[in-house]
Structures are given as structure tokens and as C-alpha cells.
A = this chain, B = another copy of it.
Amino acid sequence: MNSDYKILLVDDEPDILEFLSYNLKKEGYAVCTANNGKEAIVVAKRENPHLIILDVMMPDMDGIETCRELRALPGLKDVMIAFLTARSEDYSQIAGFEVGADDYINKPIKPRVLISRITALLRRGKSTAEVNQKMDLGGIRIDRERYVVVQDGKEINLPKKEFELLALLASKPGKVFTREAILDQVWGGEVVVGDRTIDVHVRKLREKLGEDFIRTVKGIGYKFEF
């Protein structure tokens, strides 16, 4: 489903906001909006969208300027940014790309083109967004891309099941995962394995990482803590 993606629309004209919002929601995207540049920055910080669509012509702070400020925010380095321009404004295409835009979209907007364009943009952005699947907790970093766990700078290579188990527990530190849930997530629904299997994997993780990271909650399951 497209709702994996959140899109922030920024335009001073409510009609356009409405029109875009309607079309994007219909495709299943999560949509949030802002009426001007200042608001856009606030919302962007809060919502962390995957894509921001900026009208170039706006009072006070125009799209170019907004884009520049957005790009300066640490968390928003990897967001895709597209500009909305009137067909004739060539100058803004130039300025836009210089300021770090990923695409521009001409008005008047045709829904089919819009959607197609956005799909392409998000697909392109995915590569970098996906890379950031790293977690960092209590001196331990789980690096999915390289498939290693880094503890105090040392790389630890874990076999698949151990890695996935650790990743699951660490994905919500403090939360207790029942054995059932663990089997379901790490092993996959249908697989049936013996009772002691999880314990053994936990043992190995404790050997490799230290005894204190995974805690047993008797009668319930296991949790990661640091």
C-alpha cells in the first residue's frame, strides 16, 4: 500500500491544496499540508514526510527559500522535494535545482501525471531512505545493511536467526515479546520448532553480547534492555 509514504503539500492557495490532497489520498498516500513556508518547516520537522511538494510562488517565503531552509535541517537531508511551478517560470526551474530540488511539476496539474511523477520520485528516494535502517542502543548498533552488530566499535557477526532475533527484541527496547510473537516474527508463522529453540538462541546472543542485554520475563517472554 502507498500509505507507507507520507507527503507534505505546501501551497498558499487552499484550492490547490485541496485538489492535490484529494488526489494523493485517493492513491493511498498519507497527506499533510501547510499554507506557507514557515508552517512547512514546522510541519516537516514534526511529520518527517518522505516527499515535500512546494509551490514556488508563495507570499513571504517562496518555495526556493523554503527549500533551502528545509535542506538545512539535519533530519531532512534525504527528503525528496518537488516544486510546483507555472509552466512559464523557467527561472525557478534553474534556481530550484540549484537549491537541491529533486523534481518540479508544472501547473496546471493533471492527476495522472502527478501520480506517476510522485511514484517515480518516491522510488528514487527509497534507496537512501532504506539505507538508514540502523538502530543505536546502549553501545550496540544493529546495522541491517551490513548485517553486523557493532558493540563498542567491535563488529560482531551473527548468524541469521540470532541477528533477526536480536533485531526484533531491540526494535522495541523494553517491550516484552512473547515466545509466540518471537516465533511468528523470526521463524515465520507456519514453522514449528521445539520448545527450547528460542532459549538456545538467546543463550548464544548472551554469550556474544553480554548477559545483561536480554532479560527473561518468566512466564511471558523476553525483552531487550540497556
Q: Which residues of A contact B (CB under 8 A)?
A: 90, 93-94, 97-98, 101-103, 110, 112-113, 116-117, 119-120, 124, 145-148, 157, 159-160, 174-176, 217-220, 223
Contacts and interface: CB of A to CB of B under 8 A. Distances in A.
Which of A97, A113, A116 gathers most chain B CB within 10 Å? A97
* Interface secondary structure of A, over-half rule: mixed
Contacts of A110: 90
Taken together, the copies of this chain in the complex come to: 2
Given A90-B112, A218-B159, A220-B160, A147 B176 contact: yes
B146 A119 contact: no
A217 B147 contact: yes
A101 B117 CA distance: 10
Given A93-B116, A113-B93, A116-B93, A146 B175 contact: yes
